[in-house]
Structure formats: structure tokens, C-alpha cells
Amino acid sequence: RATLGARLLGQRNVAEILRRGEAADGEALRPDQTLQEALAAFLTRRVERLPVVDAQAAPLGAIRFIDLLRDPP
């Protein structure tokens, strides 16, 4: 079951769970990064929320760790 969850995180991307307009501090993720990459960033940085920026580094919003644990829409 854990392996399936890891595979699913690798197939979905940050844009799918982005909370538009929400702010967060720290090194930002891009919307095209996988949720598996986001999970690694959360664990490495030990934070609950990460900012998301576009290709020009303009803020798009944020994602929260808890969002990784929720069922996909």
C-alpha cells in the first residue's frame, strides 16, 4: 500500500493541490514538480507549508503537507 502511495505521488503534480493566493516562506516549488518531490522537500526542510512560484518566480500560492495525505479530487 505504501508503494502504491509513493507511485501515485510521482504521477501527480504540485499544481493539482496548489492553494492559490496562500503565502509561505522558504525555497519555492514549481507547479510542474511531482508530489513525490514536494514530499521530499517537506521532509528535508521540516516545514508544514511550501511556496509555489511560476517560471518567472512570481508567487502562485502554497501547498501544505496535509494536502499530500488527502485523497485526490
Q: C-alpha distances in angstroms, 41 versus 30, 38, 53, 73?
A: 12, 5, 15, 23
Q: What is the pLDDT of residue 20?
A: 96
Q: What are phi and psi of 64, to 5 degrees?
A: -115, 150
Cα-based angle 16, 2, 30 (whole degrees, multiple of 5): 25
Write down the pTM of the prediction.
0.85
What is the tens place of the pLDDT at every residue in 26-67?
Answer: 999 999 999 999 999 999 999 999 999 999 999 999 999 999
CB 10 within 8 A of CB 35: yes
Q: What is the pLDDT of residue 62?
A: 98
